[in-house]
Amino acid sequence: MKARLIFVPLAGLAIAGGPAYATVYLSVEQAQQVMFPGATFTPDNRTLTEDQVKVIEKMSGVPVRNKQLKIWRVSTGGWFIVDEVVGKHEYIPFALGLDDKGNVKDVEILEYREAYGGQIRDPEWRRQFVGKGPDAKLQLGRNIRNISGATLSSRHITDGVERLLATYAVVLAKAGH
């Protein structure tokens, strides 16, 4: 085990590109190849009607915020959908792979921004960083990450998947593939 706890004076820290740690995990193309290796993808975007939105919301119990759907048909069978959910503070884009029966194959989070605690978003708290430690090695948001439970973000993604499964039933199941 190799670890140490250090106490960093706040005045020695620099803020890197905002108060959050952003991680880009996969591009859309990478997620496609992870879920359906070797397949080709044909865009099949849809726009939901008001009636479809109502049915989807009733089926899933999750509100539909965006009627535009980014969908691809997969050459080897199944569907690939890119969507996003609202996390604690920001959007979390994710990809859902469905097999040809509409069952969940994979869920991949494409990008995740970790929010820092309330005190770090607070402008008063952040003011102490301004103009200090421009050459500090440690940068908040770049190489220091917050210990985060991410419980809420996880629940929102689960809800998002439920919503897309209802969307599949309403919009895609009949299309067959």
Cα separation, 93 vs 83, in Å, equals 6
Least CB distance from residue 99 to another protein, whole Å? 15
Of 73 and 105, the one with the shorter C-beta distance to another protein is: 105
Footprint of another protein on residues 84-123 (CB under 8 A)? 106-109, 112, 116-117, 119-120
Footprint of another protein on residues 13-42 (CB under 8 A)? 13, 23, 25-26, 33-34
158 is a site residue for another protein (CB under 8 A)? yes
Of 54 and 145, the one with the shorter C-beta distance to another protein is: 145
Neighbours of 91 (CB within 10 A): 13
Q: What CA–CA distances, in Å, run from 115 to 29, 47, 57, 129, 151?
A: 26, 32, 28, 17, 13
User: In this structure, what token pair is assigned to residue 149?
Assistant: 């439970």
Cα separation, 40 vs 44, in Å, equals 13
Least CB distance from residue 96 to another protein, whole Å? 11
Closest CA relative to residue 115, chosen from 86, 90, 97, 84: 90
Footprint of another protein on residues 130-149 (CB under 8 A)? 138, 140, 143-149
Least CB distance from residue 146 to another protein, whole Å? 6
Least CB distance from residue 64 to another protein, whole Å? 20
71 is a site residue for another protein (CB under 8 A)? no
Tell me the sheet residues that pair with 108. 95
Cα separation, 82 vs 110, in Å, equals 9
Which residues make up the interface to another protein (CB under 8 A)?
Answer: 1-10, 13, 23, 25-26, 33-34, 106-109, 112, 116-117, 119-120, 138, 140, 143-151, 153-155, 157-158
